[in-house]
Amino acid sequence: MTPVNHSPLSPAAPLFRLLALPTEIIQRIGILCTDAPLAFPTSALNRHLRDIFSHPTNIATRALRHFSTPEAALLAESLRGDAPVLAILCRHANVTIPAPALGRAAWAGHLAAVQCLLDAGADPNRGENNQAIVAAAYRKSADIVRVLLDHRATNIQEALSMAAQCGSVGCVRVLLEHGARPNGLILWGAVASGVSEVVEALLLHGKTVEVDANVGPRDLIFAAVQCGYAETTRLLLHHIPETHAFKDELAALATSKGYADVEKILLDSHLEPAT
C-alpha cells in the first residue's frame, strides 16, 4: 500500500491543515488572504507558500530558531548545500569552531557551499575539517579538491590515497600538482581500482614510486594480473623493472584465469628502463 502523504501542502491531503503550519506561516497566509480572499488550496496560495519556504532569509531564520545554536544550524544546512542560506548562517555562527560543516559540504559534493564556508573563515585543517579534502576525493570532485588546496588544505596524502582507490584521475592529478607523493600502498589502491589512467599518473609522477615494506613489486603486479587488468599490467612492467622477476609465475596465473591479453603482455614484455 502506498503511504499517504499527510503534509499540509500535499495535494492528496483531504483538508488543508492550516494549524499544523508554524505560526509565522499562518500569519503570512492571513495577510495574503486579507489582501486577496481565496479558498484553500489554490495555485496562488501555493506560489505564495513556495516563496516563503524557499527564500534563503526565511530558511536561515527558521534554522536559527529550530537548532540550539547557530553552529548546529550551520552544520545541518551544510549537507543541503544552499550557499545563500549558508552565507546568512555564517554571519551568526562561529565558523572557526572545529565542527565538520566543511567536510559535510564536501562529502555532499556542493562546491558553492564549500567555497562559501571557506570564504567565511572555515579552516580546512582544523579538527574534523581536515577530512573535507578526503571526502572530496571520495566524491571524485577535483574542483572541490582544488578549492580546498587553494585554501592550504594539508591532508594531501590521505586524499591522494582515497582518490587512487576511487579511481579519480582528476583528483589524483590535482593532488600530485600540489605536492602529494605516491607510495606503494597508494599505488596498490590505484591498481585495485582498475583505472589504468590513475596508475599511469602515479607512475609518471617523478618517474619513480616509493615502494614501501608493506607493498612490494610482486604485490602490485599480482593484483593487476589477478584482476585481469591488462593495461595496468603493462604499465607496471614498463615502469617498475623489479616486476619482471615474477613474469613466469604470473603468466601461469593469467592462463589459469583465461586472461589471454594479460598472458600475452607478460610473455612479450622485455626489461627496459622507463622513458
Domain boundaries, the chain: 68-163, 181-275
pLDDT of residue 1: 42
The span from the CA of 151 to the CA of 132, in Å, is 12
pLDDT of residue 35: 59
User: In this structure, are residues 212 and 189 in contact, taking their beta carbons and an 8 Å threshold?
Assistant: no
Stretch 43-71: mean pLDDT, rounded? 73
* Nearest in space to 106 (alpha carbons), one of 61, 67, 35, 162: 162
pLDDT at 56 over 70: yes
User: In this structure, are residues 153 and 126 in contact, taking their beta carbons and an 8 Å threshold?
Assistant: no
State the cell numbers at 223.
Answer: 593484483
CATH hierarchy code of domain 181-275: 1.25.40
pLDDT of residue 61: 78
pLDDT at 230 over 50: yes
The span from the CA of 96 to the CA of 71, in Å, is 10
Question: Is 181-275 the same fold as 68-163?
Answer: yes
The span from the CA of 224 to the CA of 78, in Å, is 39
Stretch 238-267: mean pLDDT, rounded? 94
Please report, rounded to a whole number, the percentage of residues in the chain having pLDDT higher than 90.
62
Confidence of residue 140 (pLDDT cuts 50, 70, 90): very high
Among 45-49, 139-143, 158-162, 267-271, the least confident range: 45-49
* Nearest in space to 186 (alpha carbons), one of 31, 85, 175: 175
User: In this structure, are residues 244 and 272 in contact, taking their beta carbons and an 8 Å threshold?
Assistant: no
Among 94-108, 149-163, 239-253, the least confident range: 94-108
Stretch 244-261: mean pLDDT, rounded? 95
State the cell numbers at 27.
Answer: 500569519
Q: What is the pTM of this model?
A: 0.78
pLDDT of residue 6: 47
- Bridge partners, 210 (sequence order): 183
pLDDT at 39 over 60: no
The CATH number of domain 68-163, selected from 3.40.718.10, 3.40.50.970, 1.25.40.20, 3.90.1300.10 = 1.25.40.20
pLDDT at 238 over 80: yes
The span from the CA of 241 to the CA of 271, in Å, is 6
pLDDT digits (tens, 9 = 90+) for 74-114: 998 999 899 999 999 999 999 887 678 999 999 999 999 99
Confidence of residue 14 (pLDDT cuts 50, 70, 90): low
Residue with cell string 500535499: 10
pLDDT of residue 50: 64
Confidence of residue 62 (pLDDT cuts 50, 70, 90): confident
State the cell numbers at 54.
Answer: 524557499
Among 17-26, 30-39, 156-165, the least confident range: 30-39
Average pLDDT taken over every residue of the chain: 85
Among the residues of the chain, which ranges form H helices?
A: 23-35, 43-54, 56-66, 70-78, 83-90, 101-107, 111-119, 132-138, 142-150, 156-166, 169-177, 184-193, 196-204, 217-227, 230-239, 247-257, 260-268
